[in-house]
Amino acid sequence: MSGPIINWIDKRFPLTSFVKHELTDYPTPRNLSYWWNFGFLAGIVLVLQVATGIFLAMHYKADSTLAFDSIQHIMREVNYGWLLRYMHATGASAFFFVIFVHMARTLYYGSFRAPRELLWWTGQGLLLMLMATAFMGYLLPWGQMSFWGATVITNLFKVTPFIGENVVIWLRGDYSVGDDTLTRFFSLHYLFPFLIIGAVIVHLVALHTVKSSNPSGIDLKDKDNIPFHPYFTAKDLYGLGIFLIVYSVFVFFMPNSLIEPANNIPANPMVTPSHIVPEWYFLPFYAILRSVPNMFGGVVAMALSVMMFAFMPFLDRSRIPGGARYRPIYRIQFYLFLLDMLVLGYVGYKPPTNPSIVVVGQVATLCYFASFFVVPFVSKIEERWLIKRGLPAGIMELMEREKRDLENRTQEHRRRKGDLV
């Protein structure tokens, strides 16, 4: 970039060098598949959610007597209010869908492994913030499912040792979910996206420090890296087009498929819905919560089930690169885990009145945690087996190189600290 204005700016702000470093010169592995589009898509959905949310907030009333009516005001009287609301409601589901694919890709290709642990953990933090934001946003329409969902989930904090009751009251601002809960959830639902944007920046800084992983699982040579712009901007934009088509099918043709019918009934503390069910993206975790007969155990299990992903860098001890690509057993584990998630989702959706559903849920919960706990052992056994069986020539070489890289990096680090001269 050049020109007098750019020059003027560059003397005062590192604009050109920033663009160069982060975009036009930023090295990206050329072998990234379309599975690497989903981080970019998550960023776009975040922008869409913030943009539609800000305009919705101009018409929404965070007051328990007005909230439900104000949503109908948006749906009926505000110009294109229905579009804003359906985009925002569908966007929540789209966000989780994109994030789940993003996480599944990371797990499949082992992208969480060294040196990308911090990248993975900031992502874990983002997932938690996203869940909190979605949960608080779900209260705002003030329908039956909003109210009872918030009641059930805030009630879980009762298990906090010693101060449980007080924590629940502190969260709700009242003895039961009510007007105070609604106003604070609205306030926090507006705040959290901006915290998420901040955390996304941290996530990106971590990414640009360690660079993208790639399907082969190891750091590529310089000649295999291409600049992010224009190659991956073009690839990401094409992926965005496809994503927006799917998103629009939901927004324009089936927007109510993702909204529980009971949420079209105004919140009524006197009438409990026959079956309280969370949004689809919480179902597997909800199933785990219900599968443990004891409430304290259930809450711990649910919290742990979300946090288990953070342990993956420690659990996976295999040195074979490329995640599931060169690791047949890990690949089977991965697909079984996905299947288990689907089973848990189904269990979470069904009322727990059927004993066989409860049993399926408990077995699936055990499978969920077992699939993490077996990883250290299986990954080590698998590595030994694969080496004994004979790895493809290239991969052995890659492993050696990766090992050398790691040693070099450690030495470099020591040298910088002054341990070695």
Which one among 15, 197, 242, 271 touches other proteins, defined by CB under 8 A?
242
User: Which residues, numbered 370-409, are part of the site for other proteins (CB under 8 A)?
Assistant: none
* Residue 356 is a binding residue for other proteins (CB under 8 A): yes
Least distance from other proteins to the Cβ atom of residue 374, Å: 12
* Residue 256 is a binding residue for other proteins (CB under 8 A): yes
According to the 3-state scheme, what is the secondary structure of the chain? CCCHHHHHHHHHCCHHHHHHHHHHCCEEECCCCHHHHHHHHHHHHHHHHHHHHHHHHCCCCCCCCCHHHHHHHHHHCCCCHHHHHHHHHHHHHHHHHHHHHHHHHHHHCCCCCCCCHHHHHHHHHHHHHHHHHHHHHHHCCCEHHHHHHHHHHHHHHHHCCCCHHHHHHHHHCCCCCCHHHHHHHHHHHHHHHHHHHHHHHHHHHHHHHHCCCCCCCCCCCHHHEEEHHHHHHHHHHHHHHHHHHHHHHHHHHCHHHHCCHHHHCECCCCCCCCCCCCCHHHHHHHHHHHHCCCHHHHHHHHHHHHHHHHHHHHHCCCCCCCHHHCCHHHHHHHHHHHHHHHHHHHHHHCCCCCHHHHHHHHHHHHHHHHHHHCHHHHHHHHHHHHHHHCCCHHHHHHHHHHHHHHHHHHHHHHHHHCCCC
Least distance from other proteins to the Cβ atom of residue 249, Å: 7
User: Which residues, numbered 121-150, are part of the site for other proteins (CB under 8 A)?
Assistant: none
Question: Do you know the residue count of the chain?
Answer: 421
Nearer to other proteins, 192 or 368 (CB): 368
Q: Provide the 10 A C-beta neighbour count for residue 157.
A: 18
Which one among 341, 364, 375, 386 touches other proteins, defined by CB under 8 A?
364
* Residue 350 is a binding residue for other proteins (CB under 8 A): yes
Nearer to other proteins, 78 or 196 (CB): 78
Exactly one of 73, 208, 229, 380 is catalytic; which is it? 208
Q: Is 212 a catalytic residue?
A: yes
* Residue 253 is a binding residue for other proteins (CB under 8 A): yes
Exactly one of 70, 93, 212, 291 is catalytic; which is it? 212
User: Which residues, numbered 86-115, are part of the site for other proteins (CB under 8 A)?
Assistant: 86
Nearer to other proteins, 168 or 251 (CB): 251
Per CB under 8 A, which region of 131-139, 201-209, 307-315, 335-343 contacts other proteins? 335-343
Nearer to other proteins, 155 or 233 (CB): 233
Q: Is 88 a catalytic residue?
A: no
Q: Is 413 a catalytic residue?
A: no
Nearer to other proteins, 248 or 411 (CB): 248
Nearer to other proteins, 123 or 284 (CB): 284
* Residue 341 is a binding residue for other proteins (CB under 8 A): no
Which one among 160, 174, 264, 325 touches other proteins, defined by CB under 8 A?
264
Exactly one of 260, 279, 316, 402 is catalytic; which is it? 279
Binding residues for other proteins (CB under 8 A)? 30, 72, 75-76, 82-83, 86, 226, 230-231, 234-235, 237-238, 240-242, 244-245, 248-249, 251-253, 255-256, 259, 261-262, 264-265, 336, 339-340, 343, 346, 350, 354, 356-357, 359-360, 363-364, 367
